[in-house]
Amino acid sequence: MPLNFVISAPSEKLRLLLQAKIDQKTKPLGALGQLEVLALQIGLCQNTLTPRLNKPTILIFAGDHGIVEAGISAYPQIVTSQMIGNFLSGGAAISVFARQHQLELLIVDAGVNADLPYHPKLIDAKIDKGTHNFLTYQAMSGKACIKAVQAGAELVLEQYKTECNCIGFGEMGIGNTSSAALLMHCLTNLPLDQCVGRGTGLNDEQLRHKLNVLQQALNNHENLSTPLDVLATFGGYEIAMMVGAYLKAAEVGMLIMVDGFIASTALLVAYKLYPQVLAYCVFSHVSNEQGHQALLVYFNARAILNMDLRLGEGSGIALAYPLLQSAVIFLNEMATFAEAGVKTVMLPARIQKDFE
């Protein structure tokens, strides 16, 4: 079943109106730097001159990866389910940051290799108990891949129906930096060694082994022609669900907060399917993973934060969120020159004309 999303480009007329509104605030032109860029983008995403951040939510998609059998991670696969328990009990980094900034946090079992107990913040969307080892087999069938993409889209639609208009996606899955590296390599044509990083903290010898395993996997799967082929061959269920989540969020005009390497690689797949998705994406941070740095260059994107993070979980999203709040607040509440009684004759010509 083919994907069928309709993602509209932001209004160019609204862009001009938003820029004029930003320029009329009581400050020199451009003085708020990237906050002005954020304010403009948020207004465009929400198609309004007065944007709001309603019910900001982070979905953490979790899944296991068969490639862990090849020894590409410093941690065993069981850590995926254990970390989900940590998320739900409130002890993980994303848990404490989400509480700090009053972000709704939900965990999605996309394909964890365990039977997880019920929890009100856990969404059971399991496609299978982890992917196959892509060193030998395709990670998932084409049918399962599409099912995961569509499931991610449905989960976002459910949040949208609760009046959430600001959403971000985190991930958890031991082995998923290996999947992300191969997706990135195949979809950008960047050299594999520029896409592979230390993930959970590999030493030099372990990193060399990881690179060798991924090169062998590439050699075993040739002639992949479409982004969905690449996703099914090397991806994970959590990554596939994030692809659908990005596309649905953009389709309904939500502001999308992008996390680190794996989340950005899922966005890469979405971008290859529907390039318009990028207009709705704010990049929260640049990761310490070299692949993420190269991906941001590929997207021609500028991240809000650069703090050498490489945790995942949506942690960068939670840390960057207050700056999104500041962008919206200045756009909506900061006085204009006219409101402050500042003489327009003192203003640059670019602003004066908006008062005439």
To the query of whether residue 313 is one of the catalytic residues in this protein, the response is: yes
Comparing CA positions, the residue from 337, 316, 338 lying closest to residue 264 is 316
Helix orientation angle between 315-333 and 34-46, rounded to the nearest 10 degrees: 90
Distance CA 189, CA 184 (A): 8
Residue type for 15, please? R
Q: Please state the separation of Cα 50 from the chain's center in Å.
A: 24
Distance CA 84, CA 134 (A): 24
Q: Active site residue: 313, 333, 339, 356, which one?
A: 313
Catalytic residues: 313
